[in-house]
Chain A
Amino acid sequence: MADVYDALAAPARRAILDVLADRDDQTLFEIVARLMAEHDLGLTRQAVSQHLAVLEDAGLVSARRRGRSKLHTLDTGPLREIARRWPDKDSP
């Protein structure tokens, strides 16, 4: 299991989470295209694929197959753990 903090440490991986926050069930092709269009990040498919593997391992991204395509979805579960550990002081 990859450490969630290590997974979040890379700017490219945070950008991937930004892209996935917009819409569930994205293919690698869509993520690469959106990184370029929305974040000006010209990453190769191989690089994005490796980043996705780290994010999946950390539980931040879940992947499933629909038909013959692999689809990726943001999972904010590990982020809730962070919020529980260091609760917002201003919250009631």
Chain B
Amino acid sequence: MIRIHLTSVFVDDQEKAHDFYTRVLGFETRTDIPLGDGNRWLTVGAPGDDAVQLLLEPSAHPAVGPFRDALVADGIPATQFAVDDLRAEHERLVGLGVEFTMPPTDMGPVSIAVLDDTCGNLIQLAQMAG
């Protein structure tokens, strides 16, 4: 069986992204390996979840800028994370200074919110109903 074990977001600054994704969002560092040129193979994961890692990938490739700018201009998230209590997470993150482009909104089977990761991406948080 083929499984998903790694997904990625392009980040403007790996050190800044590491701080945001660990200290603010609450992920833990999984892998941090120097790759040369100051770049790192830097992954984080949710506490207690060893199945999937998120790669914080340098955004230096020239195609990344225009692609991400177009997504962010239209408010489109780069990826989605699951939460158990969306309103509680929203309140906690706003308290830490995180900006949301979309507050918690009920969409039928799912409630979603969209935040700015300060590293060039919008991130959707989703709570499944029931």
Contact = CB atoms under 8 A, between A and B. Distances in A.
Given A30-B114, A33-B112, A68 B107 contact: no
A70 B73 CA distance: 5
A26 B75 CA distance: 9
A43 to B, nearest CB: 14
A37 B74 contact: no
Contacts, number: 53
Interface string B68-81: 01001111110000
A29 B105 contact: no
Interface residues of B, number: 19
Interface in B70-94: 72-77
25 contacts: A23-B103, A26-B75, A27-B74, A27-B101, A28-B74, A28-B75, A29-B75, A29-B102, A29-B114, A30-B101, A30-B105, A33-B105, A34-B107, A37-B105, A37-B108, A45-B74, A49-B74, A67-B99, A68-B72, A69-B72, A69-B75, A69-B122, A70-B74, A70-B75, A71-B101
Interface of A: 23, 26-30, 33-34, 36-37, 45, 49, 67-71
